[in-house]
Structure 1
Amino acid sequence: MADPIAGDASVPSVDWRTPLELGLLGAIWGGSFLFMRVAAKDFGAFALVEVRIVLGALILLPFLWRARGLLTAAHWRRFALIGALNSAIPFSLFAWGAARAPAGIGAIANSTTVLFTALIAFFVYGDRIGTRRAIALVAGFVGVVVLASGKIEGESVGAAALAGALASLCYGFAVNFTKHWLAGVPPLAAVAGTLSCAAVMLAPFAFFAWPQTSPPLKSWLAATALGVLCTGIAYALFFNLIRRVSASRASTNTYLVPLFGVGWAWLLLGEEPTATMLTAGALILGSVIVSQREAR
């Protein structure tokens, strides 16, 4: 009989660290939509995203430097394309939408990344999509239509919702290309490389679109949080979580991002979720859950 004080060594200890890290990551990435909402009007999309990408790249540059001996010219060409699809374009689209609609709109639209990733894997790489997953994809895209049909205080949020969906489509391509092209590169080095390329590509747009008057302190703080916390530190947390538990388990933070995105905006900005947002969120999140379960 096992010692009641020492405990039974055959019974695994409860893993509290993983759910805490998943919750923290969901809160951070959900908070990115709050920070964009605060800063986008003062900075403009291109300037805000340039600040975000540069700060995120600086946080991760040591990982890129450590892996420099592994990189070839072909890697840098791939970094450039993935940097455009994973950072420069989608970040700009989300920031543009954040200046025109509540933060929750972008957070909900961002959830469709999982659906677009599966769809692109099917069309480009021939991955299988079962019946349940196909139905889930249809339901998720119906959710996007519902989200785009909504109005806030009489103003349509359709443009912001579609911008978010287009950004998620870019993410879908980036996820697939990263999986097939950068498998031999340490993940954080790859992220640092793609962010660096994105910063260079976006620099001319940010220069010409830079605000004529300096943004207020709260917008600078939000932009800094976007770059340091939501980009540099969040990626480091995410890939550390993947290394410790698995990619499939780490990816479940996808379920938390829209919940935190809507929750932070409601709590801190007073942006109440509408019936349309809740309906669309339920459709999209439900489809993501079904899609990921079948994928596993």
Structure 2
Amino acid sequence: MRKINLAELLLLAALWGGSFLFMRVAVPVLGPLWLIEIRVVLAGCALLPVVVHLNLWPELRQRWRALLVIGSINSAIPFVLLAFASLSLPAGLTSTLNSTAPLFGTVVAAVWLQEALTLTRWIGFGLGFVGVVILVGWQPIMATPGFGWAVAAGLVAAFMYAIAAPYIRQNLAGVSPWTITAGSLWGAALALLPALPFTVPHQLPTPTVVAAVVALALLSTACAYLLYFRLIQNVGSTKALTVGYLIPMFAVLWGAVLLAEPVTESMAVGGSLILPGTAIANDLFNPGQKRAQTPQREV
């Protein structure tokens, strides 16, 4: 992985780490379905001027089926499931469930793409997940009637990400990240549209909620997905999914900076495991692998 790819991975984790804070603010007011529909519509509309300027319409029309699939399995379904989970679970536990995506991704890539996974990379994946668990910490949680469903929703969302990443790599190789981002967001909006009349919010959003939704759409969706799809094309689906380990670390960081939440020893220890684990999983400590890399995109 080149330095530019590593920088993009860290920036992506920072953007997605903030999404858990934004969802925690907005989902109790808007509900999961309406929050995610507004999220993808705003993000898709923000990208419309770029689509027009770059004349991406022919590519969008040509790839609309694959983009609709990606919009469903990489945005609509996992976004709604994570928003639903955040109604019953603390943000830390939700982010931990989301961080299982790289582990699911290694299995999916090995079966689907016949991708060779070395023992060193498995160690990196395991070290990263242990770091996430230590970072968040095992805190007593009151088991509500919806607790089991919320946990299941978080795990299914992570598995959907693990399926979507290699699908993108196989079916949208060489397609502009702008096209994939805009098309998948519009596909997600269409997929969620039929369910909206049955889940209308019962209260108007406050300015704080509106600000959280706008930040969620523009920063944690439009900008984040451009980086994510670019990483999938440049470094492959398995390495791009390792962002899942870094997201909880940034979620904790934003909580400390923006909400004055305390930073504990377990957070420091967890972070010290996440960073090297992610580096090992991305072959950053393997000079032979680094020399073998080329600036060309994987297809």
TM-score, structure 2 length as denominator?
Answer: 0.75
* Structure 1 counterpart of 2:58: 69
Are 2:79 and 1:91 aligned? yes
- What is the CA-CA distance between 1:128 and the residue it aligns to? 1.3
Are 2:165 and 1:189 aligned? no
- What is the CA-CA distance between 1:111 and the residue it aligns to? 2.9
- What is the CA-CA distance between 1:144 and the residue it aligns to? 8.5
* Structure 2 counterpart of 1:216: 206
Larger Rg: 1
- What is the CA-CA distance between 1:48 and the residue it aligns to? 0.5
C-alpha offsets along residues 116-168 of structure 1, whole Å, 9 cap, x if unaligned? Answer: 22221111121112233345556667789999994445447665454333212
| RMSD over equivalenced CA pairs, Å | 3.9
* SS of the residue 1:213 aligns to: coil
Alpha carbons of 1:229 and 1:145: their partners in 2 closer, same or farther (altered >3 Å)?
Answer: closer
| 1:37 aligned residue (14, 18, 24) | 24
* Structure 2 counterpart of 1:48: 35
| 1:78 aligned residue (66, 69, 84) | 66
Alpha carbons of 1:278 and 1:106: their partners in 2 closer, same or farther (altered >3 Å)?
Answer: farther
- What is the CA-CA distance between 1:267 and the residue it aligns to? 4.4
Kept in 2, the 8 Å contact 1:52–1:227? The answer is: yes
Kept in 1, the 8 Å contact 2:110–2:116? The answer is: yes
Q: Distance in 2 between matches of 1:93 and 1:67?
A: 30
Kept in 2, the 8 Å contact 1:115–1:140? The answer is: no
Q: Distance in 1 between matches of 2:148 and 2:266?
A: 12
* Structure 2 counterpart of 1:128: 116
* Structure 1 residues not aligned, in runs of 5+: 1-14
Q: Distance in 2 between matches of 1:18 and 1:124?
A: 24
Q: Distance in 2 between matches of 1:286 and 1:205?
A: 43
Structure 2 letter corresponding to 1:36 = M
Are 2:27 and 1:27 aligned? no
Where do residues 1-296 of structure 1 align in structure 2 (5 Å cutoff)? 24-65=11-52, 66-72=55-61, 75-137=63-125, 150-152=138-140, 154-155=142-143, 160-236=150-226, 247=235, 251=240, 256-269=246-259, 287-293=277-283
- What is the CA-CA distance between 1:275 and the residue it aligns to? 8.8
Q: Distance in 1 between matches of 2:124 and 2:230?
A: 30
C-alpha offsets along residues 19-42 of structure 1, whole Å, 9 cap, x if unaligned? Answer: 876655433221111000111111
Kept in 1, the 8 Å contact 2:37–2:193? The answer is: yes
- What is the CA-CA distance between 1:54 and the residue it aligns to? 0.5
Quick one: percent identity of the two aligned structures? 38
Q: Distance in 2 between matches of 1:241 and 1:127?
A: 17
- What is the CA-CA distance between 1:99 and the residue it aligns to? 1.7
Q: Distance in 2 between matches of 1:94 and 1:26?
A: 16
- What is the CA-CA distance between 1:90 and the residue it aligns to? 0.8
* Structure 2 residues not aligned, in runs of 5+: 291-299
- What is the CA-CA distance between 1:63 and the residue it aligns to? 4.3
Kept in 2, the 8 Å contact 1:27–1:257? The answer is: yes
Alpha carbons of 1:278 and 1:40: their partners in 2 closer, same or farther (altered >3 Å)?
Answer: farther
Alpha carbons of 1:130 and 1:25: their partners in 2 closer, same or farther (altered >3 Å)?
Answer: closer
* SS of the residue 1:128 aligns to: coil
Alpha carbons of 1:148 and 1:103: their partners in 2 closer, same or farther (altered >3 Å)?
Answer: closer
- What is the CA-CA distance between 1:67 and the residue it aligns to? 1.7
**Count of residues in Structure 1 that have an aligned counterpart in Structure 2:** 277
- What is the CA-CA distance between 1:69 and the residue it aligns to? 1.8
Alpha carbons of 1:173 and 1:198: their partners in 2 closer, same or farther (altered >3 Å)?
Answer: same
